[in-house]
Amino acid sequence: MAGQEQVENSMALEFLSLPENVGLARVAVATFAAQVDMTLNELEEIKVAVSEAVSNAIIHGYEGKPRGTVRVTAEHTAAGLVITVTDQGRGIQDVALAMQPAYSTDPERMGLGFAFMQSFMDEVEVTSEVNRGTTVRMLKVLKKAGAE
């Protein structure tokens, strides 16, 4: 991911691992992201990526139990919008395998969360430690006015 960029603005949100908090995170980050010049399409992509990352934390990290905390941060930097979703759940044994499209530890899930994040964001980094949690860090590059 891009180097340590100077933070121009930031927000942090922490909540219990309840499914109804996915929408809270999605709307909070989208509202924060809208402070800079972004298209509606870019905002929708950010909302989907945040929803997927938070859902993964709740469903996989905490196994759907409201026993943990999910932390979401967003930062406006010169590189763009950096979003980080962190949990202290069960972690991921094999991050590379987990990021493969259609892979899921839950047979009732499609396993497309990371694929959506990678498709909609410019960079996605996942770090995880078994029984200690997972951090998903995503970057959305901000297009300069007039640049295509």
**More confidently predicted of 21 and 101:** 21
At 26-65, the pLDDT tens digits run 999 999 999 998 899 999 999 999 999 999 999 989 987 8
Q: Which residues are catalytic?
A: 52, 56, 109
Q: If you average pLDDT over residues 86-112, what whole number do you get?
A: 76
Please give the Cα distance from 81 to 78 (Å, whole number). Answer: 8
Amino acid 147: pLDDT: 47
CA 27-32-38 angle, 5° bins: 100
Cβ neighbours for 6, distance < 8 A, ≥ 6 positions apart: 77, 78
Complete domains list, the chain, with CATH: 7-141 (3.30.565.10)
pTM above 0.75, yes or no: yes
Q: Has residue 105 got a pLDDT over 90?
A: no
Q: Has residue 86 got a pLDDT over 80?
A: yes
Query: How is residue 100 written in tokens?
Result: 């493969």
